[in-house]
Structure 1
Amino acid sequence: MRPGAGQGARPAAEHDAQPAAGAGPLAGLRVLEVGHILAGPYATMLLADLGAEVTKVEPPGGDLSRQVSDSYFASLNRGKRSVRLDLTTQEGQDRLHELVREAHALLVNLKPSAIRRFGLTYEALRPHNERLVCVALTGWGMDAGDEPAFDYVVQAATGIAALTGEPGGPPLLPGYSSADNSAGLTAALGLLAQVVSGRGGQVEVSLRDVMLSQLNYRAAAWLNEGTEPRRLLHGAHSYYVPAQLFPTAEGHLALFITHDGFWQTFAAEAKVEGEGFATMAERAARREEVVTAVTRALAADTAAAWEARLRPLRVPAAAVRTLPEALTAAPEAVVDAGGFRLVGSPIRVTGYDPSYGPPPGLGEHGSA
């Protein structure tokens, strides 16, 4: 469905002509972004990659990520426009309202008090565009106050850190911004869902809610069965056995056996010793025995060799790689965006080849 289609849509005359063949699926969608650093900018960059026109509304000093590094900023803001506005002034507010009248959606990634103070809610902007979709991306929710909600803080507060690491060891954090990125993906989905409805309105997404949602089966086990979440050695899965990292003659191998057919194929290839492991229920009940037998078998070869042997057999396995090694192994994932080499969109649409533009200069497309 095209932007604004459906009940209550704007008159067709207010929309761009149908996009040309080969245009992105979101061509014609106009999105405004107000925010800093990661979650919000990542959400709107994904939309821009799919053809949406995204305009960053930046304060006089710019998005704070500009202060980190040029490549950092580019990794979250390629292909966007930039308008520099001081939203504390009447001139800045007037220009914002002009942009709002021509937009389909506004995504804001600020603390709740700032969102309200700058008039960035649907309630405040409805007089300027009643079809506008407003997305508030916050740490704890619009009604939860302004407590700091950076990625690592949210991971600690929602149980992610407590679930990460080895049994008996300290809690750990993954090596990337999982809460921000996940919240950005969710915010993009919420924005598009409301746009497709053809109605304006307010959408809320919080980092806390997103991370609790991603603990789906862990949370369900606790809420319905009283199963206390626990860490297992080598990041082992709580249900599937064997599904974890294993040491090999050289390097580590991720093995993920989710059904009995995988196990039969793997056990035959690796010559795993032991009886009574045929079903998942048996393997789960005898986890330590299975892990010991698999560890012994995998010690006979390197992680890279095991991957090469198991992949053709369709057994889920991969040698643990560094990020540079992973990028080298997937050159098609790297794109050029105005001179910056970046990881491209993870969404592939048949017939559409994204054109990755450079990140915008601060205020490159106007200021007030």
Structure 2
Amino acid sequence: MAQDGGQGLPLAGLKIVELGHYIAGPFATRLLADLGAEVIKVEPPEGDPIRGWGSRHNGHPVWFSIHARNKLSVTLNLKDAADRARLLKLCARADALVENFRPGFLERIGLGPEVLHAGNPRLVIARVSGFGQDGPYRDKPAFGSIGEAMGGLRHLTATPGVTEHAPPRCGVSISDDLAGMYAALAVAAACWGLKGNPEARGRIIDVDLVGSVFSLMEGMLPEYGLTGAVRQPAGSAILTAAPTNTYLCADGKWLCIGGNSDPIFRRLCDAIGRPGMAADPRFADNRGRCANMAEIDGEIGRWTRTLPAAEAEAVLEAADIPCSRLYDMRDCAEDPHFQARQTVMQVEDPLIGETLLHPAAPFRFDGVAPRDMVRWTGPAVGAHNHHVFSELLGEKNDG
């Protein structure tokens, strides 16, 4: 794939240095790179530790093909004074820096915001960490699971009434990804804030994993503040809307059904052969349905257990009722809607030497085909040392 710099994409021309490792920082820059920014990923000589995660093919990590797509990779040893000077030169030519070291690390190696801004006063600096750059937990170590636990999410994933099993994680590194999304949004906003104002200085952005998860807790904080009530796990139901749940079908598969508006509920009752439920005054509105959730779910569940999941889904779709079987990755990859929208696309990865399936960028722009946003796949460690150090920085050799 041509490394075209993202022409035609909204962030084309924006230059970002990534000092990210593992997930959160690199996920932020992956989003920015998908949007057309030129991202220079700075790795230690041995590479980002994430290169050792997940499955490998032909000796190369498959996940990294996505995780570092559209990025340039250079190697620097931040313990070496000459390489730190190189990094300062890169940052002097960049619009933003994204880092997710533990708080204080950059300051300890002489690369804190004051030093970076001395070389480039307009540099936007995004700092992603477990607990943030201040506060009593600032220096505690954290990974994504800690963000889920302390941010309130893991409490909600428990099975109601079950205490002998630990509440499960959601299956992906959701707190890292959330923090990365917020960091990407904040970088774009901060860069926009510099536009047209030559006197403006670059902002320092502070994003933490715990706060990113906590921001998703909907109305739970004001509910607690007003009444002292702590929302408890609801399993696959939604406590504030009914019926919305996941129901077992005759073939042992699960069907998610969202019937929680008044007209949809009436159609649902007809579709499952229970028209009398729609006429029951107890179920006339969402508040009443939430109060009688168990009875409604029982009736729906009795119906779903009479049909295989695909047949039950077809009946409900014919009645225009939101529903879906629970997809695994095979289902996603083979679904015609995913394919038609290029949500799943085939991408040539020259490093791995195979055609891989990649997820599309999660945003669409008119005039840009989704596959054109994946300009190249995750590169080898230091693949762009010569280009960046010799051509961009003007060094006589790339060391």
Note whether the superposition's TM-score is higher than 0.5.
yes
Asked if residue 325 in structure 1 is aligned to residue 331 in structure 2, the reply is yes
Query: What does 1:241-320 align with in structure 2 at a 5 Å threshold?
Result: 241-250=242-251, 251-272=253-274, 274=277, 275-276=280-281, 277-320=283-326
Partner of 2:365: 349
The CA deviation at 1:188 is 0.3
Per-residue deviation, residues 299-342 of structure 1 (Å, max 9, x unmatched)? 23222122222234331111112122122112322231534322
Residue 149 (structure 2) pairs with residue 147 (structure 1): no
Q: Distance in 2 between matches of 1:337 and 1:108?
A: 29
Assess if the C-alpha contact under 8 Å between 1:105 and 1:133 holds in 2: yes
Which shifted more, 24-33 or 83-92? Answer: 83-92
Find the aligned partners of 1:236 and 1:271 in 2 and give their Cα distance.
22
Contact 2:144–2:175 (8 Å) recurs in 1: yes
- Aligned-partner residue type, residue 118 of structure 2: P
Q: Hey, which bits of structure 1, 4+ residues long, moved more than 3 A?
A: 118-121
**Alignment correspondent of 1:10:** none
Match of 2:33 in 1: 48
For residue 327 of structure 2, give the secondary structure of its aligned residue in structure 1. Answer: coil
- Distance between the aligned counterparts of 2:219 and 2:290, measured in 1? 17
Check if 1:365 corresponds to 2:358: no
Secondary structure of the 2:219 match is helix
Aligned partner of residue 126 in structure 2, secondary structure? strand
Q: Secondary structure at the match of 2:104?
A: helix
Deviates more, 1:199-208 or 1:67-76: 67-76
* CA distance in structure 1 between the partners assigned to 2:226 and 2:177 by the alignment: 29
Report the secondary structure of 1:301's partner residue: coil
Q: 1:119 to 1:304 in 2, by over 3 A?
A: farther
What is the aligned length?
348
Give secondary structure in 2 for the equivalent of 1:188: helix
For the 8 Å contact 1:108–1:115, the answer to whether it is kept is: no
User: Within 2, Cα distance between the matches of 1:97 and 1:265?
Assistant: 63
Measured at CA, do residues 337 and 223 of structure 1 come closer, stay the same or move farther in structure 2, by a change above 3 Å? Answer: farther
Deviates more, 1:62-71 or 1:42-51: 62-71
**For the residues of structure 1 that align with 2:315 and 2:191, how far apart are their CA atoms?**
47
**Residue aligning to 2:352:** none
State the match for 1:15 in structure 2. none
1:196 to 188, 192, 196: 192
Q: Which position in structure 2 is the counterpart of 1:24?
A: 9
Distance across 2 between alignment mates of 1:212 and 1:337: 38
Distance in 1, matches of 2:305 and 2:344, equals 34
> Match of 2:108?
117
In structure 1, the partner of 2:94 is 103
Q: Does the residue aligned with 1:214 lie in a helix, a strand or coil?
A: coil
Q: CA deviation at 1:120?
A: 4.4
Identity percentage of aligned residues:
30
Taking the aligned partners of 2:141 and 2:48, their CA distance within structure 1 comes to 18
| Residue 334 in structure 1 maps to residue 344 in structure 2 | yes
Structure 1 residues 258-308: Cα deviation after superposition (integer angstroms, max 9, x where no partner) = 311110111111122533322112211212211112212222322212222
TM-score for both structures, normalised by structure 1: 0.89
**Corresponding residue number in structure 1 for 2:68:** 77
Alignment partners' CA distance in 2, 1:115 and 1:307: 53
User: How far apart in 2 are the matches of 1:283 and 1:355?
Assistant: 46
Contact 2:66–2:377, Cα closer than 8 Å, also in 1: no
Amino acid aligned to 2:169 = L
Could you tell me whether the CA contact under 8 Å between 1:48 and 1:54 is conserved in 2?
yes
The answer on 1:62 being equivalent to 2:47 is yes
- 1:138 counterpart residue number: 129
Q: Distance in 1 between matches of 2:291 and 2:187?
A: 44
Structure 1 vs Structure 2 CA RMSD: 1.9
Residues 1:91 and 2:82 aligned together? yes
